[in-house]
Amino acid sequence: MNFDSIPSAFRPLAEQRWQDLAQSADGLPDAVRESLPRVFAWSGFVTDTLRAQPELLSGEWANALDAPVSPVDLARGVRDAVAAAADELQLMRVLRLQRHALHARIAWREIAGWASVEESLASITAVADACIDSALHRLHEWHREAHGDARDANGNALRLVVLGMGKLGGRELNFSSDVDLVFAFESAGESDGPRPLANEQYFSRLGQKLIRVLDEVTADGFAYRVDMRLRPFGDGGPLVMTLNGVESYYEQHGREWERYAFVKARPVAGDLLAGESLLKRLQPFIYRRYLDFGVFESLREMKSGINREVQRRELRNHVKLGPGGIREAEFVVQLFQLIRGGREPALRERSFRTALRALARLDCLAAADAAALEQAYDFLRRLENRLQHAFDQQVHAVPDPGHERDRLAFSLGFTDVAAFEQAWAAQRDVVRGLFDDAFLGPESQPDADPLNAAWNDALVAGRLALANAGFADEAAVASELAALHERVERQPPGTQGLRRLNRLMPRLIASAARQANPDIALHRMLKLVEAVLGRTTYLALLLESPRALDQLARFCAASGWIAQLVTRHPLLLDELLDPRLFEDVPTRETLALELDAQLSRYAAQDAAAENASGLVQGKGDDLEALMDALREFQQVSVLRIAAADISGHLPLMKVSDRLTDVAELVIQAVLQSAESHLLRRHGEPCFERDGETRRARFLVVGYGKLGGLELGYGSDLDLVFLHDSTGEQQCSRGERSIDNSVFFLRLTQRLIHLLSTPTAAGVLYEVDTRLRPSGKAGLLVSSMDAFEKYQLEEAWTWEHQALLRSRAVAGDSRMAD
């Protein structure tokens, strides 16, 4: 074996390790022989494993080193080896030998440059999955011999649920990682064996055995260090709880850091379906339905604790916890996931990379920033793995300058240590910069100290501060602030809410003071603050984002109607985060794309997964989700149109056009949903004329401001509904056939219901149908023949005038023509 390919300083160690194994390495493939000096120069773990299992070098293990192993083949190999174990001692030995052999292969491939970091992390996780699941299966078989099957009250056999947390759940395990596990079981009951146990005791004993066979250090080392501290109540809690017990714990006691822990949670062993069911039940805990800007404070506190530990232990060169390290990269991604995951199902990803790419697609992060963060993450994870390849130890600190750092740089493929240090510093800078951008605290925002007195002192000092800030009637403003103070004292928003409010108010007053009419702006902003006192995450949003606060002040100064809209629907505050809000000009095309995207997001919710695109295509009946989606689209669109109006980018005539576009798009989406619902129930409405069967068609006609493209903010919709059914056999063709007149009446009623029914998200539009033939006394929906006859024979002059401003806004285009 020729070691000339590696620097002379590293040859003695590599040659010494080779001497111990040379006799076992006959017939190594050329690629393996070429890579061996580099691998042996760095990894004592690989050479220790080969000494313990010398047959690896002369068998299939060595011959297949240059090809990745598939997770399926890997799991099969582990499962077959585990199945042959006769008792727990043999099981422990098999698990360790399998894990070491597979990890040595993964390390070799990565050090040789044959495997990407992504492949390595996935392979390491696949090994852990296979070991945990196979060990649990074998232990359960032995457990059943003594205690039978654990059963619920209905006699159904139960299995242990094992959740993998953190990097195990995200399929991103590093080389010598702990495995964070949480155990659960479906429900109380008793086992049916010769020595029956209550289910909690049954699964607790089984869980203890699993921990022991994985974690205990033997002559063969360990398989996995197991950490159970993420379970409910931590170390002080029971080892295993029912699914209902776990759910109840997080509903009642769950803390912010536990939400963070569950972002990556994944069933890894045992009853996988029950595990997925549990995680689905925990979704409302993990991902809030609203934008959760309160998570900034929680993650900032977690990071502060880490920073204190880094300083105390002098861990500046710590790849995971140090400045610009892996944890900061993960915090950036999981910050956005926790804030927006409740409203953006695409962000509910366990994998760092998948979540990061989703953030870029949704414009939460600039594409260039996301690409740079992914590259930095890859570098740091490769560096972390390489440190642990050395001796399979949980090492994260880069060695101090000297021989070991030089050897590390060589193992990573750098020509010299300076190149490595330069690359490492550059990647840390990327992470640190994006972390600082994401976690910029309110303490770093513009100083509002002069206005502290305006909020905290309603007397002379407060009024003087308001007058100096530019308020015209400082006495009236001070009175309003005092009134809000009194309400807060009567109904305090909790300790955290009060802290947020007291920090926000001086900044909010200062933001209002920068407007042309500060008294009006502040009056309207205070209405919003009063409305959201019970939901202080919105206070956190304004506190964390100076841009959102300033854009809110701008809206409130310009329009009382828009201020009321945001006050009624504070979810709209999310839109204020967009720096392009007052620059972008909506078009009908962009509005249509946004509506499609909004409906798709709702269709992707877990509760409607089987309906996929049912909200638009009518395959599902999640009426509440559809109504929420349409209301959110309408409110956001109106807000964006108002922003373009206020900024002068959209002329007055175009404002009416865009508001009309929004209404038409909403009516068309509502009609499509309502019609699909009736078609599924009753079939197509048809009629026979001139000896042939024809499909009856439907049309929505807009009158008044809608028909004349003159809609304003808050306008009603004047609508008339028509169909063309005539002739014989006028009925639907489904199993539950109904007359066409009934079909179209129900269609119209459902459409009006979707548009005008108040929900928690508000009303889409008030609908006025009094312009139909004969007004309130007439039919809600008319045939074309009846409509034409009425216009020719009975309509009043004013009705003909109204007809001049009418046009088709939804329905069959041939009827419109």
Q: How high is the pLDDT of residue 571?
A: 86
Chosen domain end from 286, 317, 347: 286
Give the mean pLDDT of 323-341: 93
Q: Tokens 């944890």, residue?
A: 327
Number of domains the chain contains: 4
Q: What is the pLDDT of residues 693-736, one digit of tens each?
A: 999 999 999 999 999 999 999 999 999 999 999 988 999 998 89
Query: Tell me, what CATH number does 471's domain have?
Result: 1.20.120.1510
Do 378 and 260 have their domain in common?
no
Chosen domain end from 258, 286, 314: 286
In one-letter notation, the amino acid at residue 633 is F
Q: How high is the pLDDT of residue 222?
A: 96
Give the mean pLDDT of 123-145: 98
How sure is the predictor about 514, in pLDDT bands with cuts at 50, 70 and 90?
A: very high
Two structure tokens written together for 453: 């007195």
Q: How high is the pLDDT of residue 449?
A: 64
How sure is the predictor about 307, in pLDDT bands with cuts at 50, 70 and 90?
A: confident
Where is pLDDT greater, at 293 or 229? 229
Do 176 and 237 have their domain in common?
yes
Any residues with CB less than 8 A from the CB of 627 and at least 6 apart, and which? 754, 757, 759, 761, 764
Does residue 594 fall inside a structural domain?
A: no
Give the mean pLDDT of 567-592: 89
Do 100 and 190 have their domain in common?
yes
Do 132 and 154 have their domain in common?
yes
Do 491 and 513 have their domain in common?
yes
Q: How high is the pLDDT of residue 342?
A: 86
Q: How high is the pLDDT of residue 288?
A: 84
Query: Tell me, what CATH number does 109's domain have?
Result: 3.30.460.10
Do 527 and 652 have their domain in common?
no
Does residue 244 fall inside a structural domain?
A: yes
- Three-state DSSP at 127 gives helix
Give the mean pLDDT of 216-231: 97
Does residue 787 fall inside a structural domain?
A: yes
Do 417 and 471 have their domain in common?
no
Do 118 and 229 have their domain in common?
yes
Alpha-helical (H) ranges within 148-170 are: 166-169
Do 706 and 743 have their domain in common?
yes
Is the separation of the CB atoms in 435 and 331 below 8 Å?
yes
Q: What is the pLDDT of residues 355-410, one digit of tens each?
A: 999 999 998 999 999 999 999 999 999 999 999 999 999 999 999 999 999 999 99
Q: What is the pLDDT of residues 741-771, one digit of tens each?
A: 999 999 999 999 999 999 888 899 999 999 9
Is the separation of the CB atoms in 281 and 247 below 8 Å?
yes
Q: Hey, what's the torsion of the CAs at 530, 535, 539, 544, to 10 degrees?
A: -170
How sure is the predictor about 619, in pLDDT bands with cuts at 50, 70 and 90?
A: very low
Does residue 249 fall inside a structural domain?
A: yes
Q: How high is the pLDDT of residue 508?
A: 95
Do 489 and 543 have their domain in common?
yes
Q: How high is the pLDDT of residue 549?
A: 93
Q: How high is the pLDDT of residue 589?
A: 96
Q: How high is the pLDDT of residue 662?
A: 98
Q: What is the pLDDT of residues 409-443, one digit of tens each?
A: 999 999 999 999 999 999 999 999 999 888 765 54
Q: What is the pLDDT of residues 439-473, one digit of tens each?
A: 765 544 444 566 777 787 655 677 888 999 999 99
What's the CA gap between 632 and 655, in Å, rounded? 19
Chosen domain end from 381, 410, 439: 439
Q: What is the pLDDT of residues 770-811, one digit of tens each?
A: 999 999 999 999 999 999 999 999 999 999 999 999 999 999
Give the per-residue SS3 of 648-682.
CCCCHHHHHHHHHHHHHHHHHHHHHHHHHHHHHHH
Any residues with CB less than 8 A from the CB of 22 and at least 6 apart, and which? 1
How sure is the predictor about 317, in pLDDT bands with cuts at 50, 70 and 90?
A: very high
Does residue 282 fall inside a structural domain?
A: yes
Q: How high is the pLDDT of residue 228?
A: 98
**Is the predicted pLDDT of residue 606 greater than 50, yes or no?**
no
What's the CA gap between 11 and 37, in Å, rounded? 8
What's the CA gap between 336 and 354, in Å, rounded? 13
Q: How high is the pLDDT of residue 298?
A: 78
Does residue 63 fall inside a structural domain?
A: no
Query: Tell me, what CATH number does 361's domain have?
Result: 1.20.120.330
For residue 204, give its domain range.
68-286
Does residue 198 fall inside a structural domain?
A: yes
For 335-389, the DSSP string reads HHHHHHTTT-GGG--SSHHHHHHHHHHTTSS-HHHHHHHHHHHHHHHHHHHHHHH
**Is the predicted pLDDT of residue 493 greater than 60, yes or no?**
yes
Q: How high is the pLDDT of residue 99?
A: 98
How much is the mean pLDDT over the chain? 91
Is the separation of the CB atoms in 247 and 286 below 8 Å?
no
Do 401 and 458 have their domain in common?
no
Does residue 719 fall inside a structural domain?
A: yes
Do 264 and 313 have their domain in common?
no
Q: How far is CA 700 from the centre of its chain?
A: 38
